[in-house]
């Protein structure tokens, strides 16, 4: 039996779920993939509102993922830091971790389609993640040399050891085996990509290949694996924010299998269900903001809905007409709303300047 075949068999043993778990897993995958299909067929990828959602999700992802590891920065503080990220010097460790997470996430968003996921690329991402961190320069981008543990950090500063991880002398071997397994199951469509992602992240966290930054990198890799598998809607609602909110469950699900590490009883059913339920929650949160079946042409806030209703009543309207009716809003705000709705194909315009007339598209 080849090493790769043995590794595949070992991983498959961890996926031997009981009947009830299998049914729950299938139902969750069905729900997630159904939404994925609706998203792919019904969403304008260049929507300005989606771009705004991604900005919000980026801040939430950075905030949640770094806070899970002990950072004290709020989302508001992170938002302000990101506005100056190109020119700002990062004085504190929290700021350095935020900058590293942002830079790594942006690289993933921009390049995930062309990324060939392998050990070297994971090391590169780790190097970028810790690039701004003063205390991590000696080991960034390199596998660990000292034993480490998965530790839960709590707001009062206390820590709790959750489970032991792969010893340094075995790290290279286990990471190589993990990447071989990922390549084999990904190229052969042997296992559903959602289960592949959940399994990969569980193994990565169990190995804990780097001296520091493993938790943050695992969440970045989660995003990348989901994007590569076609679940591109994860850009618009923070997966990390859900993990932060469900932090006790997150650790409990990991521990449930990891306590049996290396044994036949190391079954990742609880972790897989937790992972899929987080995806389900992500979708429900996204639907509250942007439902691909209902959002024809984009999202409208309450003010924009009033503008649209006024145009619908009048059939044709100029900017001045709308501003006269909606006097609580400035004419510049009305102009921006009209420009946005035209760009989203919600309304149409004819003419130029003050003579521009707006009307409802026949498909709205």
Q: Which of 264, 289, 314 is the last residue of a domain?
A: 289
Residues 336 and 278 in one domain: no
Mark whether 266 and 343 lie in a shared domain.
no
Domain co-membership, 237 together with 316: no
Residue 333 and residue 234 share a domain: no
**Nearest by Cα to 162 from 210, 93, 208, 213:** 208
Residues of the chain below pLDDT 70: 1-9, 44-46, 291-299, 361-364
Question: Residue 292's pLDDT is what?
Answer: 63
Residues 121 and 178 grouped into a single domain: yes
Does residue 255 sit in the same domain as residue 333? no
Q: Looking at residue 337, which CATH number applies to its domain?
A: 1.10.10.10
Across the chain, mean pLDDT equals 88
Total of domains in the chain: 2
Question: What pLDDT is attached to residue 2?
Answer: 54
Same domain flag for 331 and 213: no
Q: What is the pLDDT of residue 298?
A: 56
Q: Do 122 and 40 sit in the same domain of this protein?
A: yes
51 and 179 housed in the same domain = yes
Do 50 and 290 form a contact (C-beta atoms < 8 A)? Answer: yes
The last residue of a domain, from among 289, 318, 345: 289
Q: Which of 113, 284, 267, 285 is nearest to 195 (CA)?
A: 267
Q: Tell me whether residue 11 is in a domain.
A: yes
What whole-number distance in Å separates Cα of residue 96 and Cα of residue 148? 22
CATH of the domain at 37: 1.10.3290.10
Whether 251 is covered by a domain: the verdict is yes
Whether residues 197 and 324 share a domain: the answer is no
How much is the pLDDT for 289?
78
19 in a structural domain: yes
**Quick one: 225 exposed, middle or buried, by C-beta within 10 A (0-12, 13-18, 19+)?**
buried
What phi and psi values does residue 87 have, to the nearest 5 degrees?
Answer: -125, -5
* pLDDT value of position 293: 56
In 3D space, the residue among 301, 364, 219 whose CA is nearest the CA of residue 53 turns out to be 301
Close Cβ partners of 23 (under 8 Å, ≥ 6 residues apart): none
Q: Is residue 76 part of a domain?
A: yes
pLDDT of residue 363: 40
Q: Is 263 a domain residue?
A: yes
86: Cβ–Cβ under 8 A, 6 or more apart, which residues? none
Q: Are residues 281 and 319 in the same domain?
A: no
Residues 252 and 310 in one domain: no
CB 228 within 8 Å of CB 109: no
Q: Domain residues for 87?
A: 3-289
Q: Give the residue among 106, 110, 97 at the shortest CA–CA distance from 65.
A: 97
- Is 257:14 a contact under the CB 8 Å cutoff? yes
Of the residues 289, 315, 334, the one at which a domain ends:
289
């Amino acid at each position: 039996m080849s090493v790769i075949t043995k590794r595949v068999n070992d991983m498959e043993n961890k996926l031997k779920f009981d009947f009830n778990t299998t049914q729950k897993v299938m139902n969750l995958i069905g729900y997630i993939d159904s939404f994925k299909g609706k998203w792919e067929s019904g969403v304008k990828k260049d929507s300005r509102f989606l771009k705004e959602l991604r900005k919000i999700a980026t801040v939430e992802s950075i905030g949640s993922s770094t806070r899970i590891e002990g950072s004290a920065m709020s989302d508001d503080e992170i938002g302000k830091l990101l506005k100056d990220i190109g020119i700002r010097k990062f004085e504190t460790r929290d700021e350095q971790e935020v900058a590293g997470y942002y830079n790594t996430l942006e690289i993933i968003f921009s390049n995930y389609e062309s990324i060939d996921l392998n050990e070297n690329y994971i090391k590169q991402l780790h190097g970028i993640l810790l690039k701004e961190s003063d205390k991590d320069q000696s080991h960034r981008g390199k596998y660990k040399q000292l034993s480490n543990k998965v530790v839960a950090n709590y707001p009062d500063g206390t820590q709790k050891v959750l489970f032991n991880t792969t010893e340094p002398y075995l790290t290279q071997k286990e990471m190589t085996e993990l990447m071989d397994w990922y390549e084999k199951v990904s190229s052969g469509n042997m296992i559903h990509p959602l289960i592949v992602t959940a399994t990969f992240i569980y193994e990565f966290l169990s190995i804990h290949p780097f001296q520091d930054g493993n938790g943050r990198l695992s969440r970045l890799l989660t995003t990348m694996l989901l994007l590569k598998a076609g679940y591109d809607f994860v850009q618009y609602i923070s997966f990390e924010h859900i993990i932060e909110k469900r932090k006790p469950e997150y650790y409990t699900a990991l521990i449930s299998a990891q306590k049996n590490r290396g044994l036949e009883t190391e079954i990742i059913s609880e972790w897989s269900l937790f992972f899929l339920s987080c995806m389900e929650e992500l979708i429900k949160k996204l639907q509250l903001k942007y439902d691909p079946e209902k959002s024809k042409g984009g999202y409208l806030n309450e003010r924009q809905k009033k503008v649209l209703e006024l145009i619908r009543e009048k059939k044709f309207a100029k900017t001045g007409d709308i501003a006269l009716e909606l006097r609580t809003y400035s004419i510049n705000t009305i102009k921006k709303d009209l420009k946005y709705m035209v760009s989203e194909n919600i309304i149409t315009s004819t003419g130029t300047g003050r003579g521009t007339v707006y009307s409802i598209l026949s498909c709205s």
